[in-house]
Structure 1
Amino acid sequence: MPETDSPSPSPSPAPSAKAWQLPRRRTSPGVARRRLRDFLAPFPVGELLLPTGQLLVSELVTNAVRHTRVPRDRLIGVHFRLTPDGTLRIEVHDADSEKPVLRDTPAPVSADSGRGLLLVDALARSWGCSPRAGGIGKFVWCHITPEEDAA
C-alpha cells in the first residue's frame, strides 16, 4: 500500500452512544458542547469531529431552547452515537412537534438568530427531523464525518 502525506482518520474501536437530558436554559448549549467533547475524547477520530460537532450540537440545542413552544420545565434530550466508520450522529429531542424550517436565504447580518439550520445544512453530511416515539415532540438529527469536518 503506498504511503500518503496525510494520515487517514482512525475509525472508532466500537460503536458508542450516550444520552443526556438538559433543562431549557441559555446555558444548555454550552453544557452540550462540553458533553460532546467528553464523549469524543476517548476516540482517535474525536479530534476531527469535535469542532463541527460542537458547533452543530450548540445550534440544535439553542433551537430547542429558544424556539420550542412548550412549558419551560420540559427537558431537552441530547443523544450522541459514534459508529465504527467514524460517523457521529447528534440528536436533539424536544416536546414540540413543529418541525424546524430551513430558510432559503440567510438572516440579515443585523439579526441575532436565523442561521442555525443553514449551518447544519452546510456542515453535516445529512440531517433531518423525525417524530419522537409516542407521538409527543420531535428530534432533529445530523451526521458528521471526518471528511465534512476537515472541509
Structure 2
Amino acid sequence: MPEDLPLSPTPAERTCWLPRRRDSPRAARWALHDFLLPHPSGELLVFTGELLVTELVTNAVQHCRAPRDRLIFVRFRLSPDDTLRIEVHDADSEKPSPRPASTSAESGRGLLLVQELATQWGCCPREGGIGKFVWCHISPEKAAA
C-alpha cells in the first residue's frame, strides 16, 4: 500500500504577477531570493538568478507593446538536478533579440548577459496566442563560475 509522502517544505516552483512598473524588477529579485534560499543549491544560484530575472523583467516593463495595465507573469522552477528555470511572460508577441550596444550606451546589454550567463535561454509564444515568454536556465556549476 503506497504511503502519502509529506509535502516538501521547499516547493520546487513559485509564480507571481507583477505590474509593468519600474519597481517590478526589484520585486522579482526579492521573490526569487525568497524562493531560492530554502533550497540547498539556492546560494549557488541566487546571484546569477537575481541578475537575469532583473534583466528579463526590465525588458518586459520597458519594451512590451501592450496596454500598461497588462501584468507580467513570472515563474521560477527548480528541477531535481538543481537547474533553475526563470520564465517572464508578457502580452507582447514580438520576440526579443540581443543587439550590439556601444561601450557608452547605458542600456541594451540585458539579453547579452542572459546569453552569456544562462546555460540555455529562449522565447516562446504563450498558450492562447497572446504574448510570449522569455525563459532561461541556470545551473549551479555555471552560476558558480
Equivalent residue letter for 1:31: A
1:35-67 Cα distance to aligned partner (Å, 9 max, x none): 000000110100000000000000000000001
- Specify which of 78, 82, 102 is matched with residue 82 of structure 1: 78
1:135 is aligned to 129
**What residue ranges of structure 1 are gaps of 5+ in the alignment?**
1-12
8 A Cα contact 1:14 1:84, kept in partner: no
8 A Cα contact 1:15 1:84, kept in partner: no
Q: Give the root-mean-square deviation of aligned CA atoms.
A: 1.5
TM-score of the pair, normalised by structure 2: 0.91
2:5 is aligned to none
Quick one: distance in 1 between partners of 2:33 and 2:117?
18
Question: Alpha-carbon deviation of 1:109?
Answer: 2.5
Give structure 1 regions of 4+ aligned residues with deviation exceeding 3 angstroms.
none
For the pair 1:55 / 2:46, whether they are aligned, the reply is no
Instruction: Report percent identity of matched pairs.
Output: 69
8 A Cα contact 1:68 1:94, kept in partner: yes
- Specify which of 15, 32, 35 is matched with residue 36 of structure 1: 32
TM-score of the pair, normalised by structure 1: 0.88
Aligned length: 138
